[in-house]
Amino acid sequence: MNLSDIVLYLKAFKNRVKKADEISKILKNLKVELLKKEDEKGAKLIWCYETVLLIQTTYIDAFNKMKNKDYYKAWCLLERCEDNIMFLKSHFSIDNIFYLNFIEEQVGKFQCVFPYKYFLSPEIIIHEKECNICGSKISIHNYCGHRVGEIYDGKMCCRIIKKLEFIGAVISDN
Ligand SMILES: [Zn+2]
C-alpha cells in the first residue's frame, strides 16, 4: 500500500473495508522510511494523514459511544476530536475530501445537545517542563528552539510537564 492508496482510504470515510489499525501501522512504517532519508517534509505529511485518520476514528468511536448511551466517554472523545482538528488546521487545509468539515460541524452540534453546564478549571503552577522533541528542560532562560505545535521528525512538538503544583480549581460555565 503506498501513499496514494492511503489517501483513497482516508477519502472513503463512509465506506471502508480495511481496518484503521492496519493503515495506522502502514503510515508509521512509511514515516520511519522517510525519516531514514531525512525527508522532514514527507514525514510531516504523514503526520497530517495520521491525524486525519485519528480524527475520523475518534469521531466514529464517539458516535458509537453515544449510540450505546455511554455519554461521558463520548463527550471526552468529541473533545479529543475538536483538539486534533485544531492541531491539524495549522499544517493542513481542512477541506471536505476527508470529511473533516463534516466532522468539525457534527462535533459542535453534538456538543451543543449535551446537558453539561458547569466545568472544573484547575489552577496549576508548572515547576518543570521538558520538550518532547529533544528532551531539554524548558524555562525562561532555557529555550531549545522547538516551537510548540510545530512538526519535527513527523511528531508534534509539545511540552511534557515533569513537576507541578496544584493550587485550586474554579467552577466555570464554559
Ligand atoms: Zn526541543
Write down the domain spans for the chain: 3-113, 119-172
Distance 44 CA to ligand 1 centre (A): 17
Question: Could you say which DSSP state residue 145 is in?
Answer: S
Compute, in angstroms, the gap from residue 139 CA to the centroid of ligand 1.
12
Cβ(52)–Cβ(95) under 8 Å? no
Give residue-wise pLDDT tens across range 23-75: 999 999 999 999 999 999 999 999 999 999 999 999 999 999 999 999 999 99
CA distances from 172 to 32, 117, 120, 137 (A): 43, 9, 6, 32
pTM comes to 0.90
Give 17's pLDDT tier (boundaries 50, 70, 90). Answer: low
Query: How far does the centroid of ligand 1 lie from the alpha carbon of residue 146, in Å?
Result: 4
Spacing, Cα 134 to ligand 1 middle (Å): 4
Taking the C-alpha atoms of residue 55 and residue 80, their distance in angstroms, rounded to an integer, is: 8
In this structure, which amino acid lies at residue 72? Answer: Y
What is the tens place of the pLDDT at every residue in 107-147?
999 999 999 989 999 999 999 999 999 999 999 899 999 99
